[in-house]
Structure 1
Amino acid sequence: MESRPANRNSDPNLNPDPNSVGPPSVLTYLDPHYWDERFSSEEHYEWFKDYSHFQHLIKSNIKTSSSVLELGCGNSQLCDEMYKDGIVDITCIDLSSVAVQKMQSRLVSKGYKEIKVVQADMLELPFSNESFDVVIEKGTMDVLFVDAGDPWNPRQETVSKVMATLEGVHRVLKPDGVFISITFGQPHFRRPLFKDPKFTWSMEYNTFGDGFHYFFYILRKGKRCNEEKEEDEKCNDPSISLYQDELEGEDYIFRTHIDGDED
């Protein structure tokens, strides 16, 4: 959840209480001022588990020679960990200038000079067509859903932003490129968006996490299967149970908003 869409109607007065787990309202996540303020004082935070929980999936789906675009780097160490695994051609973007400046300083201090960090909006990717082998996001698109309303029938404004992001990702991916989305968004909510007829990618996913399942979606451009085969993929969505260690982080606050909409 490291890149935020600008929301002209968000309230800049909704600032987080430093003593609370998260902001006073999940809608605060839509306010770019919130993220600038947060990144000014916060050095590091990982949404949806750290790299060790899905490292095997990264290694299975990203070659060390791949050019990678990370959407919404924030203060995550995802790019650092991929770099240590030999994936060095990485470009990170974030909407927050504060996040970009701090990320640049951190990477230089570590000697990771090959990683590029750019201030950019994921809804309007400033890259040419077919520029990257892989595009990856970890919790970034989830922010777009905080004011979606009914998750079975999300607001049109939400759908438009999600589709703008996906269209941009599809455009900048090379013909056989891969889009990786790490999220708690369940397949029955993500599938209609990912499988829009305008996209040529196939869809598969894995799960990870203790108790609550996080999802690791793999969308392969140019590999779209026939509809019958796609519908059969992972048709039984995993059940959800929460262990105590899953209830203590900010991820849980974000999840309860979405889950509440489903009732």
Structure 2
Amino acid sequence: MEYLPDKNSSYKDVAYWDDRYRTEQQYDWLGNFSSFKHHLEKIIKKEDSILILGWCFFRCFCVHTAMSHQDDLFVPQIKTISRCLKPGGCFVSITFAQPFFRKRLYARTAYNWSVRHDSYGEGFQYFVYVMTKGEQLSPEDAALEQRLLEEPKSQPASCPTPQDEEDNDFLCNINL
């Protein structure tokens, strides 16, 4: 992959991204729009109102493509989205996070929504999660939530120090 930086710390440099987007022909993280368009067409109607907020789209409809996998950073975003959706509104998350990881965050009775998912991609799978406000969790998702509530809380993982940053693969630092 020609756009991989020489060192992991380059991912936080504006110059790295400016250069990459100036020279890279295609940089869609989740693939071409055509690769997941059919999933969205099942949910979005032409008459729907959509408010665009950064990576998110709202009506009660939201497409979320956040790359954060840190639960402590991600959960407040989900709570806000749940609070903003009207009954029947949808929150759609498109990510490479597998159901084992994402459903642990989404399948919560407190959000007052159902959770469905599908996938797309060849070789590397992406997942489309659809949460519909006002619908109940499936019995499987309700059971998952109950198991998670009964699990003992573990200690948070330690964060890498800046001096460790160059030596570690960034995927090893994701605390799922």
TM-score range, shorter chain: 0.5 to 0.7
Match of residue 241 from structure 1: none
CA distance in 1, matches of 2:84, 2:16: 26
**Could you say which residue in structure 2 is the equivalent of 1:57?**
39
Q: 1:36–1:261: structure 2 CA closer, same or farther, 3 Å change rule?
A: closer
Say whether the 8 Å CA contact 2:21–2:27 is kept in structure 1: no
Aligned-residue RMSD, C-alpha:
3.5
Q: Are 1:135 and 2:62 counterparts? A: yes
Letter in 1 for 2:92: I
Relative to structure 1, the CA distance from residue 27 to residue 190 in structure 2 (aligned partners, 3 Å threshold; closer, same or farther) is farther
Supply the distance in 2 between the matched residues of 1:137 and 1:32 (Cα, whole angstroms): 24
* 3-state SS of paired residue (1:216): strand
Q: Could you say which residue in structure 2 is the equivalent of 1:93?
A: 54
Q: Is the 8 A contact 1:173 1:221 kept in 2?
A: yes
2: CA distance, partners of 1:52 / 1:64: 17
Q: Which amino acid aligns with 2:5?
A: P
Checking the alignment, whether the CA contact within 8 Å between 1:68 and 1:132 is kept in structure 2 is: yes
Within the candidate set 11, 25, 28, 1:46 is matched to 28
Structure 1 segment 25-40 matched on structure 2, within 5 A: 25=7, 28-29=10-11, 31=12, 33=14, 37-38=18-19
Q: In the TM superposition, what is the alpha-carbon distance from 1:26 to its structure 2 partner?
A: 5.3
Question: Is 1:208 the equivalent of 2:120?
Answer: yes
Q: Deviations over 1:16-59 (max 9, x none)?
A: xxx94233455654x37367635773575211211111111111
Shift of 1:229: 3.9
CA distance in 2, matches of 1:204, 1:27: 36
Determine if contact 1:178/1:218 at 8 Å carries over to the other structure: yes
Is the partner of 2:54 in helix, strand or coil?
strand
CA contact (8 A) 2:109 2:136 kept: no
After TM superposition, list the pairs within 5 Å mapping 1:158-177 onto structure 2.
Answer: 158-177=70-89
Counterpart of 2:18, as a letter, is E
Q: Which residue in the other structure is 1:8 paired with? A: none
Does residue 195 (structure 1) correspond to residue 87 (structure 2)? The answer is: no
Change (3 A) 1:173 1:231: closer
Query: What is the CA–CA distance in structure 2 between the aligned matches of 1:133 and 1:223, rounded to whole Å?
Result: 13
Distance 1:171 1:47 in 2: 28
* 1:192-217 deviation line (CA, Å, top 9, x unaligned): 11123431111111111112221111
Which SS does the other structure have where 1:198 is aligned? helix
Aligned length: 150
Contact 1:134 1:178 in 2 (8 A): yes
Which residue of the partner structure matches residue 3 of structure 1? none
Q: SS where residue 54 of structure 1 aligns?
A: helix
CA contact (8 A) 1:53 1:208 kept: yes
Tell me the equivalent position of 2:160.
Answer: none
Q: Which amino acid aligns with 2:54?
A: I
Distance 1:39-1:136 versus aligned 2 partners, 3 A rule: farther
Give CA deviations for 1:237-260 in whole Å, capped at 9, x if unaligned: xxxxxxxxxxxxxxxxxxx85489
- Which of these residues, 160, 166, 178, is aligned with residue 90 of structure 2? 178
